[in-house]
């Protein structure tokens, strides 16, 4: 028995010569297209990227939870009130007049009162405490006759103010140091410095002291940034754990619903 198998063929239309020629010309152009080579970024672009990277490396600020911020604020406010009393006693011990001694304490007490009145505004209250503590440093140096040991108080206060983890009080304190050392040094050099070169060039030494204060504050800023990273990681881990717990509860509910028909049939 012979079988004939029919093969169905499909004829495809061939492109016209003009189309082939056009395609060849296009392919030739693509082949001859010059290689653009590596893209070079200009100096302004590199500077912008470097500046953006620098800003990203800095702490954000104002990320403290309310209860943590309040506990730190109360501690720094109590320290400010302690300075109001302590500076008055120290001025009396340094043989200042009673009126002069109590005037020192009154200035700090007034700033502390303003900080308490601004309790509803975190940044404003922190700014008052910052100004008060740095003013305490300035008054200590003044009462002590500009001795270098008195300037150490500025460094301690800068480190403590970093506990706010907020740029406003921190930068306010740093700017205060430079302005105070320059302006007060020009008006009453012996109340700020106790060596001849600083007395003759108060603004020069104001910048030197300000640079050292900023350098000391850099360590606080690094610690501040690390604290923010830890809080962010903790919040992320908590969110993942909560999502996992919610997913587990949802799976249990679905499983219970799936068992309902079988339990009803039995």
Q: pLDDT tens, 119-129? A: 889 999 999 99
pLDDT of 23 above 60:
no
Question: Strand, coil or helix: what is 201?
Answer: coil
Say if residue 237's pLDDT is above 80: no
Q: Both tokens of residue 228?
A: 């923010």
| pTM for this model (two decimals) | 0.66
Residues 136 and 169: their CA atoms lie apart, in Å, by 15
25-41 pLDDT, tens digit per residue, is: 545 544 455 555 555 55
Stretch 138-164: mean pLDDT: 90
74 has a pLDDT exceeding 70 = yes
Residue 3 has pLDDT above 60, yes or no: no
pLDDT for res 53: 65
Q: Give the pLDDT band (50/70/90) at residue 258.
A: low
Tokens of 261: 């028909």
Helix intervals (H) in the chain: 17-32, 43-57, 66-93, 98-117, 122-143, 148-161, 167-179, 185-187, 196-200, 202-265
The candidate with the shortest Cα–Cα distance to 108, out of 127, 143, 134, is 134
Average pLDDT, integer, range 231-246 = 71
What pLDDT score was predicted for residue 32? 53
Q: Domain residues of the chain, as ranges? A: 65-235
pLDDT confidence of residue 85: 97
Q: Which residues contact 221 (CB under 8 A, 6 or more apart)?
A: 58, 59, 162, 170
Q: Are 171 and 178 in contact (CB under 8 A)?
A: no
- CA distance linking residue 244 with residue 9, whole number of Å: 61
Q: Could you tell me if 170 and 60 are in contact, meaning their C-beta atoms sit under 8 angstroms apart?
A: no
Structure tokens at 28: 């030739």
Q: What is the mean pLDDT of the chain?
A: 78
Alpha carbon 169 to chain centroid, angstroms: 12
Half-sphere exposure of 73 (CA within 13 A, CB side): 26
């Amino acid at each position: 028995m012979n079988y004939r198998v029919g093969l169905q063929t499909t004829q495809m239309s061939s492109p016209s010569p003009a189309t082939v020629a056009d395609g060849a010309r296009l392919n030739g152009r693509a082949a001859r297209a010059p290689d653009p080579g590596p893209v070079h970024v200009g100096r302004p672009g590199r500077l912008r990227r470097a500046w953006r990277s620098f800003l990203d490396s800095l702490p954000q600020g104002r990320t403290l939870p309310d209860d943590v911020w309040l506990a730190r604020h109360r501690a720094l406010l109590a320290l400010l009130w302690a300075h109001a009393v302590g500076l008055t006693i120290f001025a009396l011990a340094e043989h200042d007049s009673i009126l002069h001694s109590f005037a020192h304490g009154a200035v700090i007490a007034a700033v502390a009162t303003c900080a308490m009145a601004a309790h509803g505004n975190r940044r404003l209250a922190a700014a008052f405490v910052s100004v008060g503590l740095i003013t305490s440093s300035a008054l200590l140096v003044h009462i002590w006759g500009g001795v270098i040991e008195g300037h150490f108080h500025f460094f301690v206060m800068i480190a403590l103010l970093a506990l706010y983890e907020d740029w406003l009080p921190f930068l306010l304190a740093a700017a205060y140091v430079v302005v105070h050392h320059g302006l007060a040094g020009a008006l009453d050099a012996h109340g700020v410095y106790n060596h001849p070169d600083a007395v003759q060039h108060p603004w020069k030494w104001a910048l030197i002291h300000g640079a050292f204060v900023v350098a000391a504050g850099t360590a606080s800023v690094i610690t501040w940034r690390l604290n923010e990273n830890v809080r962010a990681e903790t919040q992320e881990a908590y969110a993942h754990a909560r999502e996992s717990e919610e997913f587990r509860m949802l799976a249990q509910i679905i499983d219970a619903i799936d068992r309902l028909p079988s339990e009803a049939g039995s």
